[in-house]
Chains A and B, each alone.
Chain A
Amino acid sequence: MRIVARRLGLYLLTAWVAVTANFILPRLMPGNPVQTLIGKITSQVTPAEIRAIRLSFGMGFKQGIIAQYFTYLGQLFHGNLGVSITLGSPVSSILRESVPWTIGLIGISTIISFALGTLAGALLGWTRGSRFDSMIPTATFFQAVPYFFLGTVMLLVFGSNLHWFPVLGAYSQSATPGWNWTFIASVLRYGELPVISIVLSSVAGWMLGMRNMMITMIGEDFVLMAVAKGLPRRKVIAHAARNAVLPSIANLSLAIGLVVSGALLVELVFNYPGVGDLLLQAVLNEDYPLIQGIFLVITLTVLAANLIADVVYLVLDPRTRSEAAV
């Protein structure tokens, strides 16, 4: 428990650094949101109007940089991330709408891909040199094809031409968003093709990683001992796999950390209302509060994912418990 507390402290420090960087960086950039907005207005702008815009962005008061920083921290604790310039609504509520979509789509795909790839990798490692090895180049092919191309082709072939899957968007226009069965079913149905495409393009990495670790583990003495003990094959494989999966768990934590940043290409191809799409719009429109808000959420998720991975690793590998205290 002491180790977990120590880790937690370290993560809090990292989070603070990230939040501070998030405050400083936009202030180092040339221009400001007000100028951006004024630049977009084609008619004459009066000084009174400029003042009004400044006020609406909470920039009406002359504050020192230190005071601004503390105001920023205070607002952050209340979940106030400012107002989006282009969309005109609070950043926090915009994020609340798009983050769940991304977590749902990319998160589920990542977990399916991890589970499938790790399982296949364990079996491929055990039966190395057999005909199952031909799965590897196939899987690697799908990972090597640029996702944009793979996604578009799948969308065209299975969506537009064969009509096996619905296309465009996250749910049917006829369904009313909310916790009703029609809507959930529609979300699942619309999610199928994106999920399949993501799994197809990412499963090779998990598979190869696990397979190689399995082959390394099979050479270990404790696997030989498991055979010598007369354990059933299933248990012998479990001995090897239990150790082989550790590096994959570390990679999974990194992958989960990146879930929120979204797969921009996936969301573009399938017109999915997630964070990736939002970030692209925000950057194109120089919508600083929104960019800042998205970055903050991404940073905090990466940190949270790493913390979870650390704890899981401590549970799975007893050796890290003593090393972690150093």
Chain B
Amino acid sequence: MSATIPREHEPTEVVDVATSAVATGVARHEPVLEIEGFSVDYGAGASMVRAVDEVTLRLDRSRVLGIAGESGSGKSTLVYAMTRLLRAPGLISGGRVLLHTTDDDGVVTPVNLVEASESELRKVRWSHVSIVLQSALSALNPVLRIGREFDEVLKTHRKDMTKAQRRARAVELLRLVGLTEDRLDRYPHELSGGQRQRVMIAVALALDPELVIMDEPTTALDVVTQREIISELATLRARFGFAMIFITHDLSLLVELADEIAVMYAGSIVERAGARELYEAPRHPYTLGLLHSFPPLHGERRELTGIPGSPPDLADPPAGCRFAPRCTFAMARCLTERPTLREFGDEGRSVACWLFDPASASRVPVELSLAPSARQTVGEP
């Protein structure tokens, strides 16, 4: 089983050209992150809960991967665990997370984050992978000025920079996100929610990381600010070419920004496809339900149906497919056997559902067999 998307030409060895983050065209099919069989448990023994179950993912340079799923699906746990930021009682119980870090000379070194020591992690953190959290108000230290957030990061990772250079860099970064220099001397509580989130994004870009993780960065904002920030992120990504993992429960938001989308349910990935394909032609019943839970940003209005029932108790998961109890298409097999994520048909998309098992005689329901661009609900991608 593998969710890795096959590419026309897999890089077999490290390429030492065109690894600068801006050269997005050439470096496109080099991986920046490879996750294999990654599992995370909460607690141990009888009370153990497997929050992330054997997840395998691959993210190429300069690509945007959206991870969608409802609360408790393990999407946040996955990213915090893979960056080793997960707090007790969360525990990585298996797998490998390879981050391909590029140094100043363009040499690519894969680092297994699961086995990295504290000092190795400190070197990788923020220089190569940075994070933007949902609530910028609590992510900024309330008693420090905004300028300190930049200064601290640059001081730690760019030891040769002078105070004036650090300040200049901070001003430059703030301009990138549309804020003026005077914000540097402000405290977090003096900024609006949107400004705070922009500051977080600017801080995240301070060291030109290869990968930026966004954990629901726009969920706490109003719709207008949300839109502004999403389009700014798209611009910044095009300009600097960092790869991005964008976590949200709002699929319609993802389709605007993401290249690929992985849908998580109860700790595993149930479907993975190109953003547009997944949005227009969902294959997994859960993805379909998720799409029906949000109003589309463009196009005609359709009825919001939601998904009946609630996510399973991960301490005592259902025997078969974890979505089966809520699934309208569930068959007898779904209740006993658990489907694995397997590649499915065309376009290198994968899905974990028995409906698409070649050996199965079942007929795929019409809702799940749409061809991409068959529906009118999508705006300009």
A228 touches B143 (CB 8 A): no
- Of the listed stretches B119-127, B295-303, B368-376, chain A binds B119-127
A residues less than 8 Å from B87 (CB atoms): 219, 224
B residues less than 8 Å from A229 (CB atoms): 125-126, 130, 152-153, 156
From DSSP, what is the main secondary structure of chain B's interface residues? mixed
- Contact mask for chain A residues 55-77; partner B; CB cutoff 8 A; 1 contact, 0 none: 00000000000000000000000
A239 touches B141 (CB 8 A): yes
Q: Does A258 contact B (CB under 8 A)?
A: no
B residues less than 8 Å from A318 (CB atoms): 142-143, 187, 189
List 26 A-B pairs, Cβ < 8 Å. Answer: A221-B133, A221-B139, A222-B139, A222-B140, A222-B142, A226-B141, A229-B153, A230-B121, A230-B122, A230-B123, A230-B124, A230-B127, A231-B122, A233-B118, A239-B141, A242-B141, A242-B144, A243-B141, A243-B143, A316-B143, A317-B143, A318-B142, A318-B143, A318-B189, A319-B142, A322-B190
Known: A226-B141, A231-B122, A243-B141. 7 other contacts (CB 8 A): A222-B141, A225-B139, A228-B125, A229-B152, A243-B142, A317-B143, A319-B187
B residues less than 8 Å from A192 (CB atoms): none
Q: Does A232 contact B (CB under 8 A)?
A: yes
A232 touches B138 (CB 8 A): no
Q: How large is the interface on B (under 10, 10 to 19, 20 to 34, 35 or more residues)?
A: 20 to 34
| Chain A residues numbered 186-223 whose CB sits less than 8 Å from any CB in chain B | 219-222
Q: In the complex, A232→B124 CA distance in Å?
A: 13
| Chain B residues numbered 7-55 whose CB sits less than 8 Å from any CB in chain A | none
Q: In the complex, A18→B45 CA distance in Å?
A: 63
| Chain A residues numbered 151-198 whose CB sits less than 8 Å from any CB in chain B | none
B residues less than 8 Å from A221 (CB atoms): 133, 135, 138-139
B residues less than 8 Å from A235 (CB atoms): 152, 156
Q: In the complex, A230→B123 CA distance in Å?
A: 7
| Chain B residues numbered 125-155 whose CB sits less than 8 Å from any CB in chain A | 125-127, 130-131, 133, 135, 138-144, 152-153
| Chain B residues numbered 187-233 whose CB sits less than 8 Å from any CB in chain A | 187, 189-190
B residues less than 8 Å from A224 (CB atoms): 85, 87, 133, 139
Which of A219, A222, A246 has the most B CB atoms < 10 Å from its CB? A222
A222 touches B156 (CB 8 A): no
Q: Does A227 contact B (CB under 8 A)?
A: yes
Sorted from nearest, which 6 A-B pairs have the closest CB atoms? A230-B125, A221-B138, A318-B187, A230-B122, A221-B139, A222-B141
Q: Report the nearest B residue to A240, measured CB to CB.
A: B141
Q: Report the nearest A residue to B145, measured CB to CB.
A: A318
Q: In the complex, A219→B138 CA distance in Å?
A: 10
Q: Report the nearest B residue to A246, measured CB to CB.
A: B143
Q: How large is the interface on A (under 10, 10 to 19, 20 to 34, 35 or more residues)?
A: 20 to 34
Q: Report the nearest A residue to B122, measured CB to CB.
A: A230
Q: Does B83 contact A (CB under 8 A)?
A: yes
B138 touches A220 (CB 8 A): yes
Q: In the complex, A228→B130 CA distance in Å?
A: 7
Q: Does B157 contact A (CB under 8 A)?
A: yes
A residues less than 8 Å from B138 (CB atoms): 220-222
A residues less than 8 Å from B152 (CB atoms): 229, 231, 235
Q: In the complex, A239→B133 CA distance in Å?
A: 17
A residues less than 8 Å from B140 (CB atoms): 222, 225
Q: In the complex, A5→B138 CA distance in Å?
A: 31
**Interface of A with B (CB < 8 Å)?**
219-222, 224-233, 235, 239, 242-243, 246, 316-319, 322
Identify B189's interface contact among A225, A230, A319, CB under 8 A.
A319
A residues less than 8 Å from B187 (CB atoms): 318-319
Which of A224, A226, A243, A322 has the most B CB atoms < 10 Å from its CB? A224
B131 touches A242 (CB 8 A): no
A residues less than 8 Å from B130 (CB atoms): 228-229
Q: Report the nearest B residue to A318, measured CB to CB.
A: B187
Q: Report the nearest B residue to A218, measured CB to CB.
A: B87
- The minimal Cβ–Cβ distance linking B210 to chain A, given in whole angstroms, is 14
Q: In the complex, A226→B148 CA distance in Å?
A: 12
B143 touches A230 (CB 8 A): no
Q: In the complex, A126→B196 CA distance in Å?
A: 28
Which of A229, A233, A239 has the most B CB atoms < 10 Å from its CB? A229
A residues less than 8 Å from B141 (CB atoms): 222, 226, 239, 242-243
- The minimal Cβ–Cβ distance linking B22 to chain A, given in whole angstroms, is 23
A residues less than 8 Å from B127 (CB atoms): 230
Q: Report the nearest B residue to A222, measured CB to CB.
A: B141
B residues less than 8 Å from A232 (CB atoms): 122, 156
A residues less than 8 Å from B142 (CB atoms): 222, 243, 317-319
Q: In the complex, A231→B122 CA distance in Å?
A: 7
B residues less than 8 Å from A228 (CB atoms): 83, 85, 125-126, 130-131
Q: In the complex, A317→B141 CA distance in Å?
A: 11
Task: Given A221-B135, A225-B133, A316-B143, decide whether A322 and B156 contact each other with a Cβ distance below 8 A.
Answer: no
B residues less than 8 Å from A243 (CB atoms): 141-143
- The minimal Cβ–Cβ distance linking B205 to chain A, given in whole angstroms, is 13
A residues less than 8 Å from B156 (CB atoms): 229-232, 235
A residues less than 8 Å from B85 (CB atoms): 224, 227-228
Q: In the complex, A322→B157 CA distance in Å?
A: 34
- The minimal Cβ–Cβ distance linking A141 to chain B, given in whole angstroms, is 29
Q: In the complex, A221→B27 CA distance in Å?
A: 34
B residues less than 8 Å from A231 (CB atoms): 122, 152, 156
Q: In the complex, A220→B136 CA distance in Å?
A: 12
A residues less than 8 Å from B144 (CB atoms): 242
Q: In the complex, A183→B351 CA distance in Å?
A: 86
- The minimal Cβ–Cβ distance linking B161 to chain A, given in whole angstroms, is 15
Q: In the complex, A235→B144 CA distance in Å?
A: 13
Q: In the complex, A224→B139 CA distance in Å?
A: 8
Q: In the complex, A221→B197 CA distance in Å?
A: 14
A residues less than 8 Å from B118 (CB atoms): 233
- The minimal Cβ–Cβ distance linking A241 to chain B, given in whole angstroms, is 11
B residues less than 8 Å from A219 (CB atoms): 87
Q: In the complex, A224→B138 CA distance in Å?
A: 10
Q: In the complex, A225→B206 CA distance in Å?
A: 14
Q: Report the nearest B residue to A319, measured CB to CB.
A: B189
- The minimal Cβ–Cβ distance linking A236 to chain B, given in whole angstroms, is 10
Q: In the complex, A219→B139 CA distance in Å?
A: 11
- The minimal Cβ–Cβ distance linking A255 to chain B, given in whole angstroms, is 22
